[in-house]
Structure 1
Amino acid sequence: MPAPIWLALLPLRSQDPSSSTDEPDLHGAALWALGFSPRVAVVDQAVLLEVGASLRLFGGLLHLAEQLQAGAEALCLAVSAPAATGLAALAVARAGQRLEIADLPGETTPGEALAARLTEQLDPLPLRTLTAAQRAEGTLLRAGCSTLGALRRLPRGGVSRRFGIELLHALDEAYAQRPCAFAWEQLPERFHARLELPSRVDLAPALLFGARRLLLQLSGFLHARQVLTSGFTLGWLHDAMRARTASAGGEITVRTAEPSRDLEHLSRLLSEHLAREQLEAPACELTLGVDPAWLSPAASLSKSLLPDDGARGGTLVQALERISVRLGAEHVRVPRCTEDHRPEHQTAWLPWSAAGLPRPVAVRGDVQMDALAVGPQPTWLLAEPLPLAARAGQPHYQGPLALLAGPHRIEAGWWHRTADDSGEHHEHAQRDYWVASNAAAGLVWIFSARLAGERVAWYLHGVFA
């Protein structure tokens, strides 16, 4: 088992009482920290987490510390220097020794080094850094004992009789002389987080600052549960001093094209949605929730030495998703195959939806729409077939056309009815398609439509590039 490495997350206000920094939600911070380690506990107004077993997953202590530090700053927390025990990490944090990325060892197993210098790390710390010693601090200071090292050197019997056995137990737990048991934080079955805003917010885009804290908690929840989400709902409550015509609050639901737990992508997507919102009244509280139906298992990381080409497509999907939110789904369209043999109806251009890119519709069991294309298909299809002149039964387009291949017969659309100002029309198609050419037009795709009285009409429908 890897040697333990403990870190403490301490609210910034705890280190500077005069600071006006918002008091963080420790249990919410613990939920975020569960994304880095399953051993997380809230102890004495701080969050403790043991990351020794998580180093390999995050690529070493350096990479893990960088991610922890970035998230902790957004949550108004300070990350302590690493220590070999939980109470030692808490004492180090209270002493103001913060995590310094440049001072961390590059190896992925620094636990043994921390255990070797635990005594050296704790002995100089003041008594107030250990919770159990705070009540006895005044008496000990008058006796000339001002550090944990000095306290440890006092006779244990006298300390036990004067201050109680709990002080010795806490001292032993900090110095790894006694096992320490914490009440570990448990993941909830459903994610729902709440944040009271420090001041009234009048503009919807400004809600992103507070919403990002909730998204950090959601990211930790998703990582700890090893799941992805395809959406979330951000709600807000209006201030009690709102106008009578304003509602109690509002909400927006953000759906993603593909399941994700990427914090930056979710934040950018929420930012685009908030930019289109307008608050009826100032907001004072935020909530963030996820429908369990939107959660899906996360795929395991590939162990292959070769790059995963499939993972590269996520950037394009995320970019299209943000563009569709900014411009509107009706301005970003995607093609979708339909069950129709008529070329002009085989592809439908639909607005981008949160469900993602439409996929081809299968027909006749496992047969895909590509199987419907019999014979060569043109590169460019005209929006409306162009009527052609015919002389002696031969079609003309920039000169007489020679029929090279065909016919490919299509007879469909008898069920299709359209209506306009002139009345109802049917879209029944009876066509024989040909590949034709001449020196001026090149290769073209034409068809002959059978009319009443054995008449035939010719049309140009496509061009081969």
Structure 2
Amino acid sequence: MRLWIGLYLPQLPLEVFSPRWCNSSSNGGGADGADADNAAAGDPGIVVLEQERVMALSKAAHIEGVLPGMRRGGVLMLMPDARIVQRSHEREAEALQAVAMAMLQYTPQVALAEEATLLLDIGASLRLFGGIRQLCAQVRANLRTLGFTGCIACAPTARGAWLLARRNAGRAVKMDSLVRRLNRLPVSLLPPARPFAAWFDGLGCRRLDELQRLPRPGLQRRCGRALLDMLDAAYGHSPELLQWIEPPERFQARLELFDRLEHADLLLAGAHHLVLQMTGWLCARQLAVERILLLLEHERGRVACPPTAVEVALAEPTWRDEHLMRLLRERLGKLELVAPVIGIRLEAQQLQAMAPPTDSLFPDPGGSEEDRMRMIELLVARLGPENVLQALPHADYRPEIANAWVPVHQKVSAAVRAAQMPPDVQSLPRPSWLLAKPLALLMRDHRPFYGSPLRVASNPERIEAGWWSQTQTRDYFIAEGKDHALYWIYRERINGSGEDAAPRWFLHGLFG
């Protein structure tokens, strides 16, 4: 089934309302958004001018009497302290591109349409995301995270979804439902019909169903072919060609903050704004990220200092934003800023092909490997990479050489990880805790002593290994103390005679 989502974002610059990542207030995607009311709370008034006339304003400015279309002088007369900004089409395009990049996580077919509207072909994604209601809810949640509110509509045709989104007319999954909704829409919603609005009004043609009943040859001679093509595309009578958004070869996104922030934890919402874009880019490129770099940009000029780098290394590649945000929350929560932050930049540094889903029918007990890797990454973010280690085995008979501990994010090849001792050695008992350095034991009544006299409780295991001056010759035993604790001790084998030939005992491990 072919189904489209139309996502309409009113063309307002980012400067209109205070963004979420600067304070606790929210910014609406349009001046009529519910979040816009909260954004203006406590603000002296924000007014956006285009050609010296008001084209958007906050609620505080509206309360003071500022109206759309008012000139700058009238605004300053009513609100001398108003914050006046100029509309920036470049910033609007950047914001729309950021939303489009985030939407790539739901479908690779995302197109930019007229008047700040995105079209998403989500027919093949419905089952993956749990149906149209769940998918629209996720899209709306992503919009709020990015700092916008928008109008979301669904339709079996791309142009139909565009029209429903522009009018905020809801969802129409089937074609007959779409036709009923389109018939009630005004003719002025079609861009090619707007220059002829007075002519249509004189004919009494105000809705699309009335436009459909007009003679097509005369309508084409008067208004041109573009109007009929758009109308036929909306009703599904003709196909429509769209140009899909192409993700760049390399991901790098930047967000300029609206205020200087002095606490790192306040940057989390802005970081989420960038991570959502990266998530869409990763899904579109079928990649997973292993290492990301978040750069916190500080003041410029005479007091300039280099950006603060926050690097997050993952034990297992991922392309989901939830896990990345958990790690960034831990890192930013412990970070002390050297200077206020005015902008943040995110880079995907280490990538690999996205792994296919598991082919097992039943999940592994105790969680999947991905769950365990996420837990390890969370520990690294909290405790630091030097405090979370992994085993690095070596094919050596000496216990202190047979294994080393390295940071968990260090890559260990499969050949090294598979290094094992011969089967006869694997069957021998080994202690749960091995001392970093063997501890020399005292001798009392010709018996090794560690808190109490130790009684040998096993046959000896002889280990001879090493080269040249590093040769080790030892006899290992399991010993038991008076508290019934078990210890792994060894006796050095020394060739010779006399006092220097007396055996020396060492404690090397403890059994659990």
For Structure 1 versus Structure 2, the TM-score category normalised by the shorter chain is 0.7 to 0.9
Which amino acid counterpart does residue 199 of structure 2 have in structure 1? T
Compared CA separation, residues 37 and 395, structure 1 to 2 (3 A): closer
Question: What corresponds to 2:43 in structure 1?
Answer: none
Looking at structure 2, the residues matched to 330 and 367 of structure 1 have their Cα atoms a distance apart, in angstroms, of: 24
Question: What corresponds to 2:458 in structure 1?
Answer: 404
Which amino acid counterpart does residue 213 of structure 1 have in structure 2? H
Q: What is the CA deviation profile of residues 212-255 of structure 1, one whole-angstrom value per residue up to 9, with x for unaligned ones?
A: 1221111111112222110122234445xx46132264443322
Q: What is the CA deviation profile of residues 254-281 of structure 1, one whole-angstrom value per residue up to 9, with x for unaligned ones?
A: 2212101120111121222223444454
Asked if 1:375 corresponds to 2:428, the answer is yes
Q: What is the CA deviation profile of residues 81-119 of structure 1, one whole-angstrom value per residue up to 9, with x for unaligned ones?
A: 2112111111111112356xxxxxxxxxxx9x5212221
CA contact (8 A) 1:127 1:133 kept: yes
Asked if 1:52 corresponds to 2:123, the answer is yes
Looking at structure 1, the residues matched to 95 and 190 of structure 2 have their Cα atoms a distance apart, in angstroms, of: 22
Cα displacement (A) at 1:55:
2.0
TM-score by length of 1: 0.80
Report SS of the residue matched to 1:177: coil
Compared CA separation, residues 285 and 152, structure 1 to 2 (3 A): farther
Q: What is the CA deviation profile of residues 271-308 of structure 1, one whole-angstrom value per residue up to 9, with x for unaligned ones?
A: 222234444544443332223xx211222223543225
Report SS of the residue matched to 1:301: coil
CA contact (8 A) 1:337 1:369 kept: no
CA contact (8 A) 1:7 1:50 kept: yes
CA contact (8 A) 1:360 1:368 kept: no
Cα displacement (A) at 1:319:
2.9
Instruction: Return the match for 1:342 from 387, 398, 420.
Output: 398
Cα displacement (A) at 1:403:
5.8
Asked if 1:195 corresponds to 2:255, the answer is yes
Cα displacement (A) at 1:376:
2.6
Looking at structure 2, the residues matched to 309 and 237 of structure 1 have their Cα atoms a distance apart, in angstroms, of: 45
Unaligned stretches of 5+ in structure 2?
Answer: 11-28, 33-54, 60-90
Which amino acid counterpart does residue 378 of structure 1 have in structure 2? P
Asked if 1:130 corresponds to 2:190, the answer is yes
Compared CA separation, residues 48 and 361, structure 1 to 2 (3 A): closer
Question: What corresponds to 1:73 in structure 2?
Answer: 144
Counterparts in 2 of 1:296-445, with a 5 A limit? Answer: 296-308=352-364, 312-350=368-406, 352-355=407-410, 362=416, 367-369=419-421, 375-381=428-434, 384-389=438-443, 391=445, 398=452, 401-402=455-456, 404-412=458-466, 429-436=472-479, 441=484, 444-445=487-488
Compared CA separation, residues 309 and 443, structure 1 to 2 (3 A): closer
Question: What corresponds to 1:457 in structure 2?
Answer: 504
Which amino acid counterpart does residue 134 of structure 1 have in structure 2? R
Looking at structure 2, the residues matched to 319 and 376 of structure 1 have their Cα atoms a distance apart, in angstroms, of: 30
Compared CA separation, residues 378 and 253, structure 1 to 2 (3 A): closer
**Equivalent pairs: percent with the same residue?**
34
Compared CA separation, residues 211 and 434, structure 1 to 2 (3 A): closer
Looking at structure 2, the residues matched to 15 and 86 of structure 1 have their Cα atoms a distance apart, in angstroms, of: 26
Cα displacement (A) at 1:71:
1.5
Compute the RMSD of aligned alpha carbons: 3.4
CA contact (8 A) 2:158 2:234 kept: yes
Cα displacement (A) at 1:208:
2.2
Instruction: Return the match for 1:270 from 328, 336, 342.
Output: 328
Question: What corresponds to 1:234 in structure 2?
Answer: 294
Q: What is the CA deviation profile of residues 353-389 of structure 1, one whole-angstrom value per residue up to 9, with x for unaligned ones?
A: 4337x679749xx751475557332344456435142
Cα displacement (A) at 1:195:
2.8
Report SS of the residue matched to 2:362: coil
Which amino acid counterpart does residue 447 of structure 1 have in structure 2? Y
CA contact (8 A) 1:402 1:438 kept: no
Report SS of the residue matched to 1:117: helix
Compared CA separation, residues 146 and 202, structure 1 to 2 (3 A): farther
Question: What corresponds to 1:424 in structure 2?
Answer: none
